[in-house]
Structure 1
Amino acid sequence: MPATTAPEQKGTDIQRTPAQSSEIRQRFLAVDTANVADVLDDMGHGNYGLSPRLTLHTGSRLAGWAYTIQGEMAPYPGTGDALKMQACNGISPDEVSVWSGGGEGVCYFGELIALGMMQRGSAGALVDGGIRDVRWLRQLDFPVVAAFRSAIQSIGRWRVTGFQAPVYLPGATTARVVVYPGDFILADEDGAIVIPNSIVEDVLAKAEEMTAREVAIREAIGNGLSLADALKQFGHV
Structure 2
Amino acid sequence: MDQAKKLEIRERFLKLDTSNVADVLDELGYPNQGLAQDFAQQTEGGVLAGWAYTIQGQMTPYPLGGDKEKMTACAGLGEGDISVWAGNGEGICYFGELIAIGMKEKGCKGALADGGIRDTRWIDKQAFPVFARYRTPVQSISRWKVNAWQIPVFLRGACSTWVEVKPGDFILGDSDGAIVVPQAIVQTVLEKTEALTAQEVAIREDLSKGMTLAEALAQYGHV
TM-score bin (small chain)? over 0.9
Once the 2 structures are TM-superposed, how far is the Cα of residue 48 of structure 1 from its aligned partner?
0.8
Judge which range, 132-141 or 30-39, deviates more: 132-141
Q: 2:51 aligns with which of 52, 65, 68?
A: 65
1:113 counterpart letter in structure 2: I
Q: May I ask how many residue pairs the two structures share in their alignment? A: 222
Q: Which of 184, 189, 208 lines up with 2:170 in the alignment?
A: 184
Paired AA for residue 33 in structure 1: T
Q: Does 1:162 align with 2:148?
A: yes
Superimposed CA distance per residue, residues 145-191 of structure 1 (whole angstroms, 9 cap, x where no aligned partner) = 00100001110000000100000101111111111000000111111
Cα displacement string for residues 203-230 of structure 1 (whole angstroms, at most 9, x for unaligned residues): 0101001111111111111111101112
In structure 2, list runs of 5 or more residues that go unmatched.
none
CA distance in 1, matches of 2:61, 2:143: 5
Alignment of 1:57-136 (within 5 A): 57-58=42-43, 59-136=45-122
**C-alpha separation between the residues in 1 aligned to 2:88 and 2:23?**
29
Q: TM-score, normalised by structure 2?
A: 0.98
Whether 1:42 aligns to 2:34 is: no
Distance 1:28 1:63 in 2: 7
Q: Distance in 1 between matches of 2:95 and 2:67?
A: 13
Q: Among residues 24, 27, 31, which one is paired with 2:16 in the alignment?
A: 31
Alpha-carbon separation, structure 2, partners of 1:110 and 1:209: 38
Deviations 1:116-169 (A, max 9, x none): 111110010000111011111111111100010000111000000010000010
Distance (whole Å) between structure 2 residues aligned to residue 226 and residue 86 of structure 1: 57
TM-score using structure 1 length? 0.92
Gapped runs of 5+ residues in structure 1? 1-15
Match of 2:132 in 1: 146
- 1:20 matched to 2:36: no
> 1:212 aligned to 2:212?
no
Amino acid paired to 1:150: T
Matches of 2:39 and 2:167, distance apart in 1: 19
User: What percent of counterpart residues are identical?
Assistant: 57
Give the distance between the partners of 1:138 and 1:217, measured in 2 at CA. 36
Q: Which amino acid aligns with 1:37?
A: A
Cα distance in 1, alignment partners of residues 159 and 135 from structure 2: 24
C-alpha separation in 2, matches of 1:192 and 1:129: 14
Contact 1:109 1:127 in 2 (8 A): no
Query: CA–CA distance in 1 between the matches of 2:189 and 2:95?
Result: 30
Letter in 1 for 2:68: A
Q: 1:224: which partner in 2? A: 210
Deviation at 1:74, TM superposition (A): 1.0
Report runs of 4+ in structure 1 exceeding 6 Å deviation: none
